[in-house]
A and B are shown apart, each in its own frame.
Chain A
Amino acid sequence: MKKKTGVFVCHCGINIAGTVDVKKVTKDLAKHPGVEHSEDYIYMCSDPGQNLIIDSIKEKGLDKVVVACCSPTLHEMTFRNAAKSAGINEFQCEIANIREQCSWVHKDMDKATDKATRITRSAVERVQGNESLEPISIPVTRRALVIGGGIAGIQAALDMANTGYEVVLVERSPSIGGHMIQLSETFPTLDCSQCILTPKMVEVSKHPKIKLLTYSEVQDVSGYVGNFKVKILKKPTYVDPEKCTLCDECVRVCPVVTSNEFDLGLTGRRAIYIPFPQAIPATYTLDIKNCPGLLPIACGKCADVCDPEAIDYDMKPEIIEEDVGAIVIATGFDLYEKENLSEYGYGKYPDVLDGLQFERLCSASGPTQGKILRPSDHKEPKEVVFIQCAGSRDPELHCAYCSKICCMYTAKHAMLYKHHVHDGQAYIFYIDIRSGGKGYEEFVQRAVEEDGVIYLRGKVAKIFEEKGKVKVWGVDTLSGKDIEIDADMVVLATAMRPSDGAEDLAKKLKIALDKDGFLAEAHPKLKPVESVTAGIFLAGAAQAPKDIPEVVAQASGAAAKAIAILSQERLFHSPNVAKVNLNLCTGCGMCVDVCPYEAVSLKDGKAEVNEVLCEGCGTCQATCLRAAIEVKNLTPAQVHEMITASLGG
């Protein structure tokens, strides 16, 4: 049967027609062998435009369609669906990109028109070799994995669980809660952080649909959207939570004191400990790094005093395997490394703190029971300097990006300080005040007007200790005057950075990182919660610095995206996948090594493609020296014809 191809050239208003003579392209294509019908229209993607394609297919009995328009990432689906509704296989429709790859990047109309003709001709040649394909259908495992038990992970897990899907929530530390549980009050309403977070934590622990795995880490992820296989390493806590009665006897006898990470080193804890009173799950963890040893000979005091015999030194790490259909990553942030901020004496002088340490000082459950006392001598600081952008917005030395939340929390810190120390004075060094957000600007104004916080626009040049004071030298760039403050304490609004281990996890999940190491979203505007890998979604500060309301909104967004997958019974996958020619395959395995999706494997000495994993990228086809593997509808024969069509004439 002779092939009848229809060519439809779009003007895209003047986007294409401004640079490309679409009438000429249409006329030239009409002469191309195999082209039965050639037509142009101002907006092919509009309803009348699509109808024009559908009608032409029906009237002229077209069996192949080429639409010369914008990038296939935008309207390929639109036109394939149009072709399908006209009764031909959707894979008999190809896009010739004459906008992004032609009209937008050229000025000379004659040359651009010639190029558009060649691009379209090459698509016509390609479509001649297209097979009719049917989408590959795959079943969906209708449960989800959430990595990270901070506010983002908690919110995403609850949203999915409340919709009715099972959720596995993995947290690497002994308790969920993340950084939010460490905070004192939250801006702009100054409600207590623990008071609003703990109900959610309790809900997680009691939820019948949530399987909580704390002190656990994701070790390996394989599979694909709808069908991920996850290996989770559950580290031993050496305490059986079922037997533990929380009597605290073990802590009393433990001889080891080590730095308490929950209070950021401001207090100590024992080797056996409960991270904080409201920890979920409520149980002790034996920190093996600091314990003198698991042999009763080495110490064994905690096991001796444990009446319910909850302490089990023989507990072993466990590998738990879970099948899930979607994954939400909410690994959060860590603070910019202390070592990098030595210019502020951070890590050198005890009275130079970071924002999180100050949160602990303000917190009622903190090391000072909510009294603001400086660490060096436990005296109430009368003058406190807050420094914004410590590590942020400094492309030369530190992070180029804005950590976003520091303006607001510094205003909050200054305000909280004033509420605790009525006769104290707070100074804030700032570059700009970024207070976009509901109620945020008013909050900053309140700090200035009601709490008398002095904002100084400028950077701090030097900080040093002298006679029990922390001297701060800086410049007020508005007045141009040098400033010297004999402060009692300095608080740095340290930059946020991706949490430790985020990079490793990204590698395991095969998702991308941005230039700063945060998890990269698939599209900065239109796909802000999707990762580049289908079925893996991002939530919280792991993706970029953000505050609690934003984190919660993004977590719910990620949950909704995951639910969109979990609510399907089957998913469909593009059939444009690689196919092995067994006669030519020598089984060298280069395609196996090169496949970015791990879709190719060797079976009986020949390559085999897992069609569900294959994304049809064609890397294998380009690598194979023997032309033994080819992507359906983009075969070497088609590529050859496309090259001939674009070079010839």
Chain B
Amino acid sequence: MVKLEDLKKEATQILKSGKVKYIIGYAKGAAGFMPIPAFISDPEDAENLTWNPACVHNLTKFIVDEKKRLKKEKKPDNRPIGIIVKGCDSRAINVLLQEKYIDRDDVYLLGVSCEKTGVVDEKKLAKTLKGQRVVQIDFEDNGNFLVTTESGSEKIPAEDVLAERCIECKANFPVVFDIVFGEKIKRQVDKPFQSVETIEALSQKDRWKFWKEQLDKCIRCYACRSVCPMCYCDECVVDTISFAVEPDTSAEEKAQKIKWIEKSPNLSENIVYHLTRAMHLAGRCIDCGECERVCPLDIPIRFLNKKMEKDAKNFFDYEVGFDPDQPSLVSSFKDEDPEDFIR
């Protein structure tokens, strides 16, 4: 079990010694039981850190933001950032390392074990508790969560309320870290792609109908893009301009904006946006599921990325985020790569 006291002690110590610039972690939110991301630079505030099954956020996104901020600073403080990483988040770190977006020295990784379970799906939890207000949720032994509601505590089997991505998780323990809390308990995953298989089982016609309905809902708020640690490009294909404006860029060139995708949220453009994003995440998405969690329209975006992950595994035996030194999926070629799908 992760001992929260140990985590706090380490956090206080590395802040005091100046080893890290600040720590990105989880702290109790202002309302409800869901924690919020916390940025702690004062050693005394390390007391506020928390770790429980409601710590759903993938905090590595903030490392990307920090990196962008640093680029603009004249005298950047290049000390590492302390960051709390779950198994899935640590894989995101590996991808950022693989893509040379960050250096290993940019981060001090405080790994936490998901204790053979994972994090909760808020909606599933609400359904299970039939509307009772949750005050606190904690890891318990034997794959259970201890849920404290206003009317008392009860043990709930984690399986009933786990986030979908945690059910298919390949890394419930950090794969890269500087210090780790909790035990390394490997959880057996029999069907790592079961969710996407339900969609694959549909006929082509039904699948098209399904996706038309889903993507028609999209309002293009780009929350999925904003929350994604891999969507770090400065210029995105959906933005009207996809080249940098330099001092010598002529007015004529500036006028030459490439509009690959229209801004208006209609079905055809939404499809192009989501499929392009899925393609750009092929071999990069580590399935933290944040895009789907933050979607205000409940579009099952994860399925698209999961399908890419499945194909990468099946065709090219490629798994994302376990080895920062492996060549990226789309830029590497092996002699034994299958070619039978090229027609």
> Which residues from chain A sit less than 8 Å from chain B, CB to CB?
581, 583-584, 586-594, 602, 605, 623, 625-627, 636-637, 640
Contact = CB atoms under 8 A, between A and B. Distances in A.
Given A623-B331, A627-B242, A588 B280 contact: no
Interface string B226-239: 00000011110100
Nearest to B280: A625
20 contacts: A581-B243, A583-B246, A586-B99, A586-B101, A586-B233, A588-B328, A591-B331, A594-B330, A594-B332, A602-B100, A623-B330, A625-B280, A626-B235, A627-B235, A627-B237, A636-B242, A636-B243, A637-B243, A637-B256, A640-B260
Contact of A584 (B100, B235, B237, B332): B235
A589 B98 CA distance: 9
B327 interface: yes
B244 A583 contact: yes
B258 interface: yes
Interface string B95-120: 00001110000000000000000000
B233, B280, B331 interface centre (most CB from chain A within 10 Å): B331
Dominant SS at the B interface? Answer: loop
Contacts of B244: 581, 583-584
B100 A587 contact: yes
A584 B242 CA distance: 9
Given A626-B235, A627-B235, A627-B242, A586 B331 contact: no
Interface residues of B, number: 21
Contact of A590 (B235, B246, B330): B330
Contacts of A590: 99, 328, 330-331
A604 to B, nearest CB: 12
A637 B244 CA distance: 12
**Nearest 4 CB-CB pairings of A with B:** A593-B331, A583-B244, A588-B99, A594-B331
A388 to B, nearest CB: 35
B256 A626 contact: no
Contacts of A636: 242-243, 258
Nearest to A583: B244
A589 B256 contact: no
B107 to A, nearest CB: 17
Nearest to B329: A590
Contact of B232 (A581, A584, A586): A586
A126 to B, nearest CB: 13
B53 to A, nearest CB: 34
Interface in B200-254: 232-235, 237, 242-244, 246
Contacts of B327: 593
A605 B106 CA distance: 15
Contact of B258 (A583, A594, A623, A640): A640
A612 B29 CA distance: 58
B99 A589 contact: yes
B325 to A, nearest CB: 11
A588 B101 contact: yes
A625 B235 CA distance: 10
Contact of B234 (A584, A588, A594, A605): A584
B243 A625 contact: no
Contacts of A625: 233, 280
A640 B259 CA distance: 8
A602 B330 CA distance: 18
B100 A586 contact: yes
Contacts of A584: 234-235, 243-244
B128 to A, nearest CB: 40
Interface string B76-106: 0000000000000000000000011100000
B232, B237, B246, B258 interface centre (most CB from chain A within 10 Å): B258
Contact of A627 (B243, B328, B331): B243
A517 B235 CA distance: 45
Contacts of B99: 586, 588-590
Nearest to A128: B256
Interface in B138-152: none
B293 to A, nearest CB: 23
B100 A589 contact: yes
Contacts of B101: 586-588
B253 to A, nearest CB: 8
B98 to A, nearest CB: 8
B260 to A, nearest CB: 7
A64 B101 CA distance: 41
Nearest to A581: B244
Given A591-B331, A625-B280, 17 more contacts: A583-B244, A584-B234, A587-B101, A588-B101, A589-B100, A590-B328, A592-B331, A593-B328, A594-B330, A594-B331, A605-B100, A626-B233, A626-B235, A627-B235, A636-B243, A636-B258, A637-B243
Nearest to B101: A586
A65 B280 CA distance: 36
A602 B331 CA distance: 15
B198 to A, nearest CB: 29
Contacts of A605: 100
A623 B233 CA distance: 14
Interface string B312-342: 0000000000000001101110000000000
Nearest to A507: B335
A593 B243 contact: no
Nearest to A590: B331
A626 B236 CA distance: 7
B243 A626 contact: no
